[in-house]
């Protein structure tokens, strides 16, 4: 683990949800392909959809149908995607391999962990409930619970406030540049996850995270050093 991460007392660990803590891409990809099929549009391979899922429903619709939709078409496709996703929100979604061990380690060492996501609460809540994470998380802050979601640091400040800690005592872990930017602006140590949903054009080294991990196992090994 980077000396920057190890230095000082770590009082809490915060995760981005999609692509940082939970692998939600299979269910989001399935939802997009269902909508594409409904409208006789070509379905897309999982490898094409996966890097885009962090961009939410609007990003998925743009990927599948292009950027020339009317407002009505955009809203119709988005509504259909979300309705299907709500019904199948945890068919395949699960914690990335090894991250339950990381959460158990934090819990056993009385280090609270929480979630700061741009995902809206009406989707976040059911997903975490089905994965039995709701009662384990010390705080859950969603994008529609703040005025300015990530990359603005407001949601991370709110999480730290709910945990009763100073931002510089915490780590924020995410797989998007907006995650790392929000964490840095809030004053947290940051870990960027190369295993998450990252498009080929993104250069994770330019995000200025304190640490970059390639795999969930690498993240687990880093978090196991926290006591």
Q: Are 142 and 121 in contact (CB under 8 A)?
A: yes
pLDDT of residue 201: 81
* R_g of the chain, CA atoms, integer Å: 17
Task: Give pLDDT tens digits for 87-104.
Answer: 999 999 999 999 999 999
Amino acid 22: pLDDT: 98
In this structure, the answer to whether residues 111 and 213 fall within a common structural domain is yes
pLDDT grade for 2, boundaries at 50, 70 and 90 = low
Per-residue tokens: 80: 């259909």
42 and 131, same domain (yes or no): no
16 is catalytic: yes
- The whole-number pLDDT of residue 9 equals 84
CATH number at residue 41: 1.10.150
Same domain, 64 and 170: no
Answer whether residue 176 shows pLDDT above 70: yes
Separation CA 114–CA 171 (nearest Å): 10
One of 4, 18, 71, 144 is an active-site residue; which one?
A: 18
Q: Please give the Cα distance from 110 to 217 (Å, whole number).
A: 21
Q: What pLDDT shows up at residue 3?
A: 45
Q: 165 and 79: one domain?
A: no
Q: Provide the residue range defining the domain that includes 212.
A: 3-23+94-223
152 and 70 in one domain?
Answer: no
Q: What percent of the chain has pLDDT over 70?
A: 96
18 part of the active site: yes
DSSP codes joined into one string, 66-129: -S---HHHHHHHHHHHHHHHHHTTTSS-EEPTTHHHHHHHHHHTT--EEEE-SS-HHHHHHHHH
* Token pair of 75 as six digits: 């809203």
CA dist 63 → 35, 51, 88 (Å): 12, 11, 20
Structural domain count, the chain: 2
Question: Which residue out of 4, 16, 203, 214 is catalytically annotated?
Answer: 16
Residues 47 and 139 in one domain: no
- Do 155 and 98 share a structural domain? yes
The tokens for 31 are 């939802």
């Amino acid at each position: 683990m980077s000396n920057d991460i190890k230095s000082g007392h770590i009082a809490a660990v915060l995760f981005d949800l999609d692509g940082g803590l939970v692998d939600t891409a299979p269910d989001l990809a399935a939802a997009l392909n269902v909508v594409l099929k409904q409208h006789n549009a070509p379905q897309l391979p999982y490898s094409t959809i996966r890097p885009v899922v962090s961009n939410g429903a609007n990003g998925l619709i743009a990927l599948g149908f292009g950027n020339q939709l009317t407002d009505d078409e955009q809203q119709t496709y988005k509504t259909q995607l979300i309705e299907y996703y709500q019904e199948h929100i945890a068919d395949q979604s699960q914690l990335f391999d090894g991250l339950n061990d990381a959460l158990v380690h934090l819990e056993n060492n009385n280090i609270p962990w929480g979630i700061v996501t741009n995902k809206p609460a009406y989707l976040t809540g059911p997903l975490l409930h089905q994965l039995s994470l709701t009662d384990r998380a010390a705080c859950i802050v969603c994008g529609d619970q703040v005025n300015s979601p990530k990359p603005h640091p407001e949601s991370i400040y709110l999480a730290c406030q709910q945990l009763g800690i100073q931002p510089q005592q915490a780590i924020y872990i995410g797989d998007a540049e907006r995650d790392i930017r929000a964490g840095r602006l809030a004053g947290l140590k940051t870990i960027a996850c190369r295993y998450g949903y990252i498009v080929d054009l993104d250069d994770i080294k330019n995000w200025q995270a304190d640490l970059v991990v390639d795999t969930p196992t690498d993240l687990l090994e880093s978090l196991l050093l926290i006591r």
